[in-house]
Structures are given as structure tokens and as C-alpha cells.
Amino acid sequence: MAGRKSSVLRLTKGTFAVALCLGLQAPAQAFDQLYVFGDSLSDTGNIGRWTFDSSSHQLYDEILAGNIGTTLTPSSKGGLNYAEGGGVAVPGLDSDYTTQAQVQAYLASTGGKADPNGLYIHWIGGNDLAAAALSLNPITAVEIATNSATQAASQVNDLLKAGAGTVVVPTVPNIGLTPVLMEGVIQVGLLPVQQQALEAAYQYLNAQNTPDADARTEAIHNALAAAATEGSNIPLIQETLAKGLAAAYDALKGVAGGLTDTYNTTEDIALARTGGNIARVDINGLFNEVVADPALYGFANTAGIACPVGTSASECTSDLPGFDASKAFLFSDHFHPTPQAHALIAQYMQSVLDGPLEVSALSQGSLALARNTQGLLDSRYQQLRTQDNDAGTFGMFGGYAGQSSDSKFNPSLGLGDGDLTSNSLNIGMDYQFADRWMMGLMLSGSDDKDDPSDHYSYRTRGKMATVFTGIKIAENGWINGDMHYGSLNYDDIKRSITLGPATRTERGETDGKQMGWRVTAGWDFPVLPVLKTGPVAQYSWDYSSVEAYSEKGNNSTSMRFGDQTSHSQIGALGWRLNAELGIVNPYAQVTYDRQFGDKTYSTTGAIKSTRTRFSRTTGEQDDDWVDMTAGLNVQITHSISAFAAISQTTGLDSGEQTSYNAGLSARF
């Protein structure tokens, strides 16, 4: 920023659902490299490294590079970080260091093609705004800000047209919040004694805590008053100078804030017009939040500087005489953040990039209900196959079904393992229309709390209706078929963001739908009077959707997310063993399952304050696995029976799952 000059479960328990939801828990498609264009906020060594103790602290972009498993090296050393301290957007402000030249140099090195799997950062504008503010001409200042913002957006468009995967474009922080503003007022208003005045101002300012924005402004006004004492020994003149300096500071702060808003708005409009996979992050908003409540984020002073007065952050170490280690500062020098602030920026950016991936877990809600519904229905199918019901028999059944798993949600991003548990209550009825044909209806409901990752949780309330039928073929064959439709309400959606010592929670709610059908067929060969065995096959098709929603907050971290859809087509082959012992009738089944539908799932997202959006895609799901089931039916009386079953998957890299159900039935 600163210038260089300061430089499934089992087949019969809804197999389709397991494959689909496991895909949503798979690692994200990883970015292979990080490419950076910008100024001293992002420069990791082309011109310098602008934060104190930079040899032992990472800048925000180096932290992000580590998050995706790579190392960020300056382009001057053959790396992919083209950012240069002192950089501006266009040559008209600085012909030596521009992001225009940086982007051109990168594309020239690749033959004009960008990396479709790469993560890009294009962050420029701080020095452009400084030049605009110092022009002292309101019309010229707005023209500079508008032109630089438009050209910056054009450079992002060049990257996208060349095939860049995802481009992160941060807003420019308000230069009116940087200490350089106070310095500029002192240097102009107290020119003959500016060095002594600056030292007096920072001596006062650094000693203060600034618990909020008002306290910060008051501290700066008092620091300007301390500087004024260097301009005269006469109290009346000192008071006049202090008032003049404070008025000049307030006026310049207003101008700087207006220019910052002009730049950020102009760039955002131009980026939206361009389209493409743009991840806008609001660093300006984040800094405003830190200034409003610094202690929440681990800072004590947002107005002063840690480095000695006049020492650039690129040359500043904590062992220099005059370095202030008494408290946590937001700024290293008059224009550059501290290492602590860089870490905060990286946490924030990563949370925005991860948002769509975390939200992709919402499809789990509808899938879990369908899985539980089908699990209990399969137990009912098993009962009906072993009962010799006459035409006209009416049946009622109901029970509990659930499933649990320890999911590995996006481990490549460090989001942590999740714990998914779902529960449903089901009630149904069926009617034997003929000796070999029955039909029925089942209604199901759920109320679940899921935590697919350390940072994301939600509650799902669902209702589902299922119609089903069964046909017996000859003496030993059978075919079952069912169709379901469900509606879901997701509420109490919580997405937690770590920002320094603080944890912020964004909340939302939305709705979803799930529909599908399946056909299952089998043949039971008698091997003993009480034992049958044979093959089983199934094909299922399912579609689920989650409506777009916006989080309720209006913070820099608040996001909106697009519609989600997912399609599943699963085939399964296996073998069954079924015993009819009289009162207790156990059975077992093993199947091999294969997913032929969607292998990955994409979700769009954006911070609420932008017109742009970007998409993230999960990694490929497990496309085959083995499912094992054991169950039993118990004939309590001639008319009343009980059932129970449990299933376990194996061969799933993204976390094995267990499902279970139990219930009662009656026939009339």
C-alpha cells in the first residue's frame, strides 16, 4: 500500500444419499498456486517487506499461500508474487511500479494463459488514493480515484479472460484511518519543526489506548495539540495551532474517506460488469470494525505506530531504539499494518474463500431425511416379503430411524472434522391389493442439529412423503419401488469466523427440497427349509436443492450464497441371506455401490456488500464403497411384529457412516 518512498449407507437404506452427502464432505478442489499483484501491502521482497520484524513474520498473502500448501516467492526471485512496494494501478501516477505492468509481465511469461486452478490476489489503490488526496484539487482527486479503480478492474478482467481460476479483490482500506494523515497535517502546518512535532505527537499518541473510534479521534486531536507545543512557547498560539491542526485533520479525513468510498464503489461496479469468479473481500470494512472495538480483535492502539518515528516498516525491527512494544498496535509505521494485523487479514480472507464450501453441506439435511426414510421402509419391505398376506390385508407401521458419521469436511482447508447425526420419526400404511401386489404411503419428519465442521452448523426440520409398492415374482423373486418428495427448513445456520482472539458468528436460514425414486429387485434361492439366499440389485435417482440465502448480519464477514442443486444416480449389486425361524427372523446383506451422478458440487457466494460473486467446488466424492447390513423381524403376535436393522459402510475416505432403525407394525 505504501509508496516505495517510505518504502450409504446400505443399499436398502438409501444408498444414494450416502454417496451424495459424502461428496459434500470431501476435500475442496485445491488451488495449486497463489499469484499476487499489488503494492507494499502484498510485497514479500521485490522491493521490500513492509511490516516490523518481517524476517520472522509472514504477510497476509504468505499465510494464505501456506493454507493451500505452497510457498509465496517474489517474482524477482522467480516466484509468483509480482507485488511491488509503491505500486499504483496506472502509469500516470508512477511509471516504475504499476499493477498494469505486473499483470502484463505475468501473462507474458505464460504465453497469455492464466492458471485455471490458481488463486489470484489483485490488491491495489492505497498509493493511488494518497496521490488523489494530496492533489488538493477535489475534481482531480475524484478523477484519479475513479480512473485507478476502473483500470484496476480492467486488469482483473485481463486475468479472468486469460483463464484465471479465482481472483481475490480486496477493497482498499480508508487512508483516512492511517497515521500518515496526521503526519501530513503536522508536516504542512508545523513545517519548521516537523520532526520535533511528530515525535511529540507520537509520544502522546503511542501512550494511549483507543477503545473505540471516538476515543481514537480524541487521542489524535490531543496528539496534534502536543505537536503544537513545538510550534510556539506561547499558550494562546499553541491553542490556536492545535485547533487549526485538528480542523485540518478532520477535513482531510473526510476527503480521504470519500475518495476511498469512490474508489471501492467504482471498482466494484466495474468488476460486476466484467463478471467472472471474483472473490471480493472488504478489508476497508474489517479495519473500520477493528477501529470501532480494537480490544475484541486483540489490539490496544489503532492510531499510533510501533516503529520509531520516521522508520519505514520495511527497515523496522523490534530491537531498534524507540520501538514501542508496550501494546498491540494496528500499524507498524505510518502506512503499514503490523504482523498481527496481517494475520487478521489472512483469517478474514480465508473465511470468505471457505464460505461457499462450508455452505455446500446444507444438502446433507435433505439427504439424511431421505436416507432415514428409506432405511425404515426397507425394514418394512423385508417384513412384507416374509409374511404371507392375503389380498385385502391392511397394514400399519411406524418407528424411528437415524444415522451418524464422523465426517472429514474439507480437511485440506483445515476446517476440522464434523459430527453428523440425524433422526426421524416415520409412520405408514400399506394395502395388499392382490396376493402378489401391495402399495403404501409413509410420512416422515425430522428435527436435527448438524455440525459438519468446526466452523459451521445448522438445524434441519424436514417433512417427507413416500409412496411405495412391492410385487412378488414366481415363488422367489421380488421387485420394490418407491418415490419420495420432501421439504426442508434450515434454520439456526451458524458460520463462525476466527478473527484474532475473537470469534464472530454469522447466522442465516433457508429452505430446500429433495425428491427421488428407486427400484430394487432380488431373487431368494432356498438352500434350507428356513434359509434363503440370492442376489439383489438396485438403481436410484435423486435430486435435491437448497435455496439461496443471505446471512442476517451487515458485517465485513456477512455473506450471501446461491442456490444449490445436486443429482445422484447410484447402481448397486449385492447378495442377501434371509432366515425364517418363526418368531425371530434375521437377515443380512452386502452390496457394492457405485455413483454415476455428480462427482463434485459447486456453490456460489459473495460478501453482501459486493455486486460480484465467486464459486467454489468440492473435491470428487468417493464413487464406490461397500455396505453391510444386518437386521431382524420379530413376530410378537399373529398381527403385531417388530423390526430393527443396522448398516455400516466401508471403503469411504471421507468418513464411514452408520445407520439404524427400529419399529413396530400391525396387520388387519
Residues involved in catalysis: 40, 333, 336
Q: Which residues are CB-contacts of 548 (< 8 A; sequence separation ≥ 6)? A: 510, 560, 561, 562, 563
- Least Cα distance to 498 among 616, 292, 610, 346 occurs for 346
What are the φ/ψ torsions at residue 623 (nearest 5 degrees)? -105, 0
Tell me which amino acid residue 654 is: S
Sheet arrangement for strand 549-550: 549-550, 559-561, 602-607, 614-617
DSSP class of residue 253 equals H
What are the φ/ψ torsions at residue 613 (nearest 5 degrees)? -160, 165
Q: Which residues are CB-contacts of 301 (< 8 A; sequence separation ≥ 6)? A: 205, 206, 208, 209, 210, 294, 327, 328, 329, 330
φ/ψ bin of 358: left (φ > 0), alpha (ψ from -120 to 50), beta (otherwise): alpha
- Least Cα distance to 554 among 504, 497, 609 occurs for 609
Angstrom CA distances, 173 to 477, 563, 621, stand at 71, 31, 40
Tell me which amino acid residue 580 is: E
Q: Read off the C-alpha cell for 411.
A: 480437511
Residues in the chain: 668
Element (H, E) at 312: none
- By CB atoms closer than 10 A (0-12, 13-18, 19+), residue 561 is buried
Locate cell 460478501: which residue? Answer: 607
DSSP class of residue 313 equals G
SS3 content of the chain, % helix, strand, coil (to 5): 35, 35, 30
Most distant CA pair in the chain, distance: 115
Give the Cα separation of 270 and 25 in Å (integer).
35
**Contact assessment for residue 488 and residue 514, using Cβ atoms and an 8 Å cutoff:** yes
Give the Cα separation of 174 and 253 in Å (integer).
9
Range list of β-strands (E), 580-623: 584-595, 602-607, 614-617
What are the φ/ψ torsions at residue 615 (nearest 5 degrees)? -125, 140
CA torsion sign for 107, 109, 110, 112 is: positive
- Least Cα distance to 426 among 498, 482, 491, 343 occurs for 482
In this structure, the number of other CB atoms found within 10 A of the CB of residue 287 comes to 22
Give the Cα separation of 364 and 647 in Å (integer).
18
Sheet arrangement for strand 166-170: 34-38, 119-123, 166-170, 278-281
